[in-house]
Every structure is written in structure tokens, then in C-alpha cells.
Amino acid sequence: MSQIQYQKSKEWLDRASKVLASGVSSEFRKYNHPHALFYTHGQGVNVYDVDGNEYLDFTLSQGPLILGHSNREVLDAVHTYSEQGQLFAGQHRQEVELAELLNEIIPSAEMMRFCLDGSESVHTAIRVARSKTGKTKFLRFEGHYHGWLDNVSWGISTPSAEALGDRLHPNVYAWSQGLPEISKEEFIIIPWNDLELVKKTLAENHQDLAAIITEPMMCNSGCIPPKEGFLEGLRNLCDQYGIALIFDEVITGFRLGLAGAQGYFKVTPDMSIFAKAIGSGYPISAIVGKKEWMEEIVTARVIHAGTMNACNPTVAAALATVRILKRDNPYPRMFELGEKLRTGLRKQAAEAGVNLLVQGLGPVIHTGFIDQAEVSDFREVQGYDKGKLKQFIAGLHDAGLRVIGRGLWYISAAHTEEHIDQALRISEKIFQNMTQKTE
């Protein structure tokens, strides 16, 4: 198709690979098309690489850039506040203002602590749940990603759908070497979106379970909204058995609305995790929760610490981001744009005779290739045609449109209708090209 060049990125990657393990600082960055790329700058909905290529960006850097790249107000806030100091090993006023703001807009955020990333906040929530309940295990769901620490690095990959075996007692696969086998004993895992299965599991195991942790919409394996009543069912079961309900809102937070998925679905968890979009690309996350749970930290029964936590630039970035989202309320428009993109992609694929399945909600869109009208859990996700997806993503990328490699698209507050039209003009050509290749 186009003559796009990646030569300079390749040279940087070769140079980087001599000193940076496989040339990157996070595993997922290896999977860019056609290899890890090196970027020079980002502005609004565009990002630019060292070869001078411009991309219309729907990755939002894996989600954080809810306001687009280089938002002026965020940059100014970071700059101004960093000029006053970077880190005090002590408290500062903006930290309180941020906590008060989150307390005002997020239903479960009666109290909170700030961390650097989602993985750490998940870790904190599990520790709190264990401390309060006196129980050790947690229940989680196949395909849900909760960061890269040992006790959650299982059950997010599988050789095949069949290899997962029995739904009530699934086989569990390690995502990485180097995980202690004992970390597998810390959790029970089952398929998502099946309340009956959760009921059976709790009936058998509630005496061992401190928490249920879930992405309130599964965004890390396909993009699958919860079935009607599923989250409410989890809420009721947790109340019944005295178990913490933890929503991992690292993706859904500040994306499905100012109050996250808990606001959108109107189910309030005991604790929740916010990261990514809260900080517009600066390393900050929040573990927020109801007072009765966060009391574990208040009383220092649970220790949570971190030298860099809530350092000035990250708090400034988060405060500016959340204030802008609150002031501008971009959500109705982001939802409309999401719907326009989903509808447009479906129509084009149908016309081209390509078996595209588009799922998602609001500004989160997932594209996969499968002969099914719906995919509702991780097992079904295994049926997606990976080769076709790779071809699709590569085609989009070579035409200047950047989407997350697993088929996920995020819309930011900086995207406009024109950007969706631009994306659809590109995707139309790719679908036609895919049909020709398979003919």
C-alpha cells in the first residue's frame, strides 16, 4: 500500500537493544507494528515517530491520554507546580485538593491513597481486603489484567480455549516464567460474566475469600461489558459473605464517565483502583475505598508506602486532568464518537464481506475477526482470528492510524467527528484490501 518507512526506528531499536532489554521498558511496547517504534512528539490526536511519520492516535498511549497528547493546561500545571518543588517527603496541599475532588465525584472514594501505577494500587487493595477479613484468597476472572505482579500474572494467557478446561475449576496458565508456584494458591479464577458460577464458587470457598476483583468492563481481552445484573450480583454476594468487592477501574476510570464504571453501572464497590486516565501520562494511581475498608490503612494495620507517591508533577497533572474533565464534560461527545466509529466500522466490514466483530462501550472500541455476533468471555475471545487482526492493524498503521495491537481503540476528548471520518476513510480501504487478499 503506502511507502511508509520505519528505518530510523529500526536503527534506534538495534541501538536500544544493546542496553535496554529487548529495546523497550515495558513488554507491551514490543508488539507495535512492525516493531517497537521511537516517537519524537505528540500533539492533540497525533503522534510522530523518528522517521517523520504522523499517526492519528487511538491508542492514547494505552489509555492515559484522555485529553489527547500534550494538553496545554496539564503541561502548564505540571510546570508551575514542579517549579515549586518536586517531592517533599511530606504532604502538600494539592494532594488534598485532588483527594477532595475524587471524593466528590467517585462513589466509592470516601478515602484514598495515591500510588505510582495500577499494579501497586491493586496490590494495596488486596492487602487491605486480607487485613480486614482475616482471609487470604481472592476471586478473579479469566482474561482480566490487574498488572504484572506475581499473584495476578496468571490466567491472562492460555494455549487455547479448550486448554482452560472445566469452568468451575479451570486450568490456570502462567503469563511469565519466574512466578512462584505458591502465588497461584493466592486466588481462585473462573470465567467472567457468569453469576451462577460465582455463586457456586462462593458457596464452596467463601470462608477463604477476602475479595473479588474484577474489571467492571473487561477491556483487556476483547472489550466486553458486564451482563445485566452481573455487577449487582457480585455486590450482593460480597455483602452476603463479608467479602471486599474491588473494581479495577484502571481502564474504565475517567473513561466511561467522571465517576468511572461504578458511576455508569451504578454499582458501588468497597474499593477501586484508578490509574491511566487520571494522570494524562504522568505516573499516578489511586486506591480509593469506603472508610470501613480504608480504616485498615488509617490504623496502620496495613502498611502502604512509596518514596515517589504523590510527587508534585503527578498530582498537578491529575488535578488538572480531572478538573478539565469535570469542567468540560466531554463524555456525551466521546460516547457519540464511539458509537459513530463502531457503526461505521461494522457497515464497512459488512460491505466488504469481512467477519469483523465490533464491541465496546462509549469511547472504548474493540475490533476482532470472528464468525460470531457476540463474544462474552475470555474463552470465546480465543476464537478471534489473530492473523487477520494483525493484518488489519498493520494496514491501518501503514496508512497512519494507530490502534492498540489487540484491536482496542480509545477515543479522547481531543478527537472530533472529523477524526472519526478520517479513521473511517482509512479503515474502508483496509477492509477492501483484506477482501482482495483472501479472494
Where do contacts with ligand PLP occur on this chain (CB under 6 A)?
117-119, 122, 145-147, 215, 220, 248, 250-251, 275
- Single-letter code of the amino acid located at 47: V
Side chain identity at residue 439, one-letter code? E
Closest residue to ligand PLP, Cβ-based?
118
Which residue, 286 or 356, has its beta carbon nearer to ligand PLP? 286
Chain centroid to CA 125: how far? 17
CA-to-CA distance for 66 and 120, rounded, in angstroms? 21
Q: Describe the chain by its helix, strand, coil percentages, rounded to 5.
A: 45, 15, 40
Task: Report the alpha-carbon distance of residue 95 to residue 101 in Å, rounded.
Answer: 10
Residue with Cβ nearer ligand PLP (117 or 296): 117
Nearest distance from C-beta of residue 310 to ligand PLP, angstroms: 15
Q: Which residues lie closer than 8 Å to 387 by C-beta, 6 or more apart?
A: none
The nearer residue to ligand PLP, 146 or 402, going by C-beta atoms, is 146
Distance, first Cα to last Cα, the chain? 17
User: Nearest Cα to 198, choosing from 377, 56, 359, 397?
Assistant: 377
**What contacts 379, CB < 8 A, 6 or more positions away?**
142, 161, 164, 191
Nearest Cα neighbor of 393 from 411, 369, 372 is 369
Nearer to ligand PLP, 388 or 406 (CB): 406
For residue 326 the three cell numbers come to 469535570
> For residue 85, how many other CB atoms are within 10 A of its CB?
11
**Residue at 42: amino acid letter:** G
Distance CA 334, CA 315 (A): 25
All 3 cell numbers of residue 112? 484514598
For cell 481531543, what's the residue? 414
